[in-house]
């Protein structure tokens, strides 16, 4: 059970959220680190342009993904694609521990 999710609910505004097993599950099913890095770079540029925090920018993506059904099923958890890309795009050293 990915108990860290209990911790991250609602917390993506503050810090990287998804626990490592879900990132690993994403990569194991063919998720692309390159695409994740591109997403992160794009989100950084956009947040800088708009003058908002990066995590706020990602939270907007996440809300839109849930709205449109752009979600993934990782180890049973329903997650927004943008939050997976965001966390996967971070330097592995920064990603949360399992």
- Residue 24 within binding range of another protein, rule CB under 8 A: no
Looking at the Cβ atoms of 32 and 70, the one nearer to another protein is: 70
Candidates 79, 84, 85, 87: give the one binding another protein (CB under 8 A).
79
Nearest to 17 by CA among 85, 90, 83: 83
- Interface with another protein (CB under 8 A): 1-2, 5-6, 8-10, 62-63, 66-67, 69, 71, 73, 75-80
């Amino acid at each position: 059970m990915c108990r860290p999710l209990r911790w991250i609910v609602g917390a993506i505004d503050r810090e990287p959220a998804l626990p490592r097993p879900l990132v690993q599950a994403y990569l194991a099913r063919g998720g692309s680190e390159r695409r994740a890095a591109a997403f992160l770079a794009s989100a950084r540029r956009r947040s800088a342009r708009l003058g908002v925090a990066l995590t706020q920018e990602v939270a907007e993506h996440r809300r839109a993904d849930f709205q449109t059904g752009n979600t993934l099923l990782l180890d049973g958890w329903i997650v927004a694609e943008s939050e997976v890309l965001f966390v996967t795009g971070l330097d592995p050293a920064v990603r949360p521990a399992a």
